[in-house]
């Protein structure tokens, strides 16, 4: 039966090969957003636009459209967001044990603080003419792998943690989306290295199959195995290039910064200049730095 997993994985790799080939072979890797920003700080004063996507979109949540802000306005929104994340972590740290959903919330808030440090320092170095585009959180319009032509469901780190903990609601959602997939649509896992994504995807499939069997659900398991697949990181990044025209306009000095719990990137004028793989982050130190930097 698991041959359907292999066939599905091979098909996803085949149809996404153009995006994979588009990603440059040698992009410098960084452990966090701040390290990436420091490496290109010389060009920051010359930027015309800064595009924020991924978890950075939570700085100003709009579920209808993208928004363009001045540098000053963005800093104001960022302060409110960081203050909220800081308070959330303080409240969760008091609890003796966290539920899977609380763990997801804490991870997202920690990412908000960590990336908030990088964004505020980037903005401080930007000129007064800098315009900041905070992309929408609208499910069908956000700048994300979620709106990639082959993606029926974006399964990121938060959802993966819930799946691994057997959360019934998200399991049902994945089953439903896999069943509804047609043609070249797949439910794609998007957290960690490709090897990690493959391993986690197999674990999640086992959890889902066990749930189906224990609850005696009438589900085409072969279709679940085929439609639930990992996506290569290179493909995930390049899938964003055609979603906003401004990313590829060479006449504008535009930086795109994607945030995430585990991954991200820095792009300048359509070229990837930094691959962010979050690791070795001491969040106690992040909390201390945020408290001083944002005067909390």
If asked whether residues 132 and 157 sit together in one domain, one would say no
Q: Are residues 190 and 112 in the same domain?
A: no
| Residues 126, 152 within the same domain | no
Q: Same structural domain for residues 65 and 154? A: no
* Three-state DSSP state, 242: coil
Which helix (H) or strand (E) is 27 found in, with range? none
Model pLDDT for residues 259-273, shown as the tens digit of each residue: 988 889 999 998 999
Query: 206 and 173 share a domain?
Result: yes
Domain span at 205: 3-23+145-235
In this model, does residue 196 exceed pLDDT 90? yes
Rounded Cα distance between 5 and 159, Å, is: 20
**pLDDT reading at 1 higher than 70:** no
pLDDT tens-digit profile of 269-295? 989 999 999 988 899 999 999 998 888
Q: Are residues 38 and 135 in the same domain?
A: yes
249-259: average pLDDT: 87
Q: What are phi and psi of 193, to 5 degrees?
A: -70, 165
How large a percentage of the chain has pLDDT more than 70? 100
How far apart, in whole angstroms, are the C-alpha atoms of residue 141 and residue 10? 28
The 10s digit of each residue's pLDDT in 104-114 is 899 999 999 99
pTM of the model: 0.88
Of 199, 214, 235, which closes a domain? 235
Give the pLDDT confidence score for residue 293 in this predicted structure.
Answer: 85
Total domain count, the chain: 2
């Amino acid at each position: 039966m698991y041959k359907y997993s292999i066939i599905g994985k091979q098909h996803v790799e085949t149809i996404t090969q153009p995006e994979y080939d588009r990603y440059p072979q040698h992009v410098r890797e960084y452990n966090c957003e701040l390290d990436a920003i420091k490496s290109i700080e010389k060009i920051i004063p010359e930027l015309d636009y800064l595009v924020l996507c991924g978890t950075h979109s939570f700085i100003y949540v709009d579920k209808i459209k993208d928004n363009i802000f001045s540098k000053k306005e963005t800093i104001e929104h960022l302060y409110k967001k960081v203050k909220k994340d800081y308070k959330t972590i303080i409240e969760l740290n008091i609890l003796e044990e966290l539920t899977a959903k609380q763990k997801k919330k804490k991870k997202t808030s920690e990412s908000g603080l960590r990336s908030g440090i990088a964004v505020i320092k980037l903005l401080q170095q930007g000129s007064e003419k800098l315009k900041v585009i905070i992309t929408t959180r609208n499910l069908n319009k956000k700048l994300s792998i979620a709106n990639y032509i082959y993606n029926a469901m974006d399964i990121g780190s938060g959802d993966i943690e819930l799946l691994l903990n057997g959360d019934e609601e998200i399991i049902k959602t994945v089953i439903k989306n896999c069943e509804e997939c047609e043609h070249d649509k797949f439910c794609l896992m998007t957290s960690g290295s490709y090897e990690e994504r493959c391993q986690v995807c197999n674990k999640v499939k086992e959890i889902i199959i066990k749930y189906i069997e224990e609850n005696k659900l009438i589900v085409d398991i072969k279709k679940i195995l085929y439609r639930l697949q990992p996506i290569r990181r290179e493909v995930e990044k390049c899938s964003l290039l055609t979603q906003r025209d401004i990313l590829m306009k060479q006449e504008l000095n535009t930086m795109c910064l994607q945030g995430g719990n585990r991954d991200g990137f820095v792009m300048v004028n359509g070229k990837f200049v930094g691959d962010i793989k979050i690791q070795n982050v001491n969040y106690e130190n992040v909390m201390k730095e945020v408290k001083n930097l944002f005067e909390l």
